């Protein structure tokens, strides 16, 4: 299935974001290695990146974890 709305990560996007939410630790490491940002800006969901796009189980996990992060206003893991 083709990826929709695919947009490469750029320093401009990193700078624009208040919080960066990633699924796994290696995603955070990649950002910290290739871009300039504060470690505390990144939140790791601890969801394995093994799901197919639009998988109902993945969507449910994302809703629960992302909403919790956004509602709490927490930026540190």
Q: What are phi and psi of 52, to 5 degrees?
A: -80, 150
Domain spans in the chain, listed from the N-terminal domain onward: 11-72
Q: Can you give the pLDDT of all 77 residues of the chain as single tens digits?
A: 455 667 899 999 999 999 999 999 999 999 999 999 988 899 999 999 899 989 999 999 999 999 998 888 754 44
Provide DSSP, 45-67. Answer: ----S-SPTT-HHHHHHHHHHHH
What does the block give as tokens for 34? 């290739």
**Residue 44 contacts by C-beta under 8 Å, 6 or more apart in sequence?**
22, 23, 24, 25, 27, 28, 77
pLDDT at 75: 45
pLDDT at 3: 53
């Amino acid at each position: 299935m083709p990826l929709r709305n695919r947009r490469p990560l750029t320093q401009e996007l990193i700078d624009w974001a208040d919080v960066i939410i990633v699924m796994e630790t290696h995603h955070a490491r990649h950002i910290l290695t290739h871009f300039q940002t504060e470690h505390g800006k990144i939140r790791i969901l601890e969801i394995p990146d093994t799901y197919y796009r639009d998988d109902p189980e993945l969507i449910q996990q994302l809703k629960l974890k992302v909403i919790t992060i956004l509602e709490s206003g927490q930026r540190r893991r």
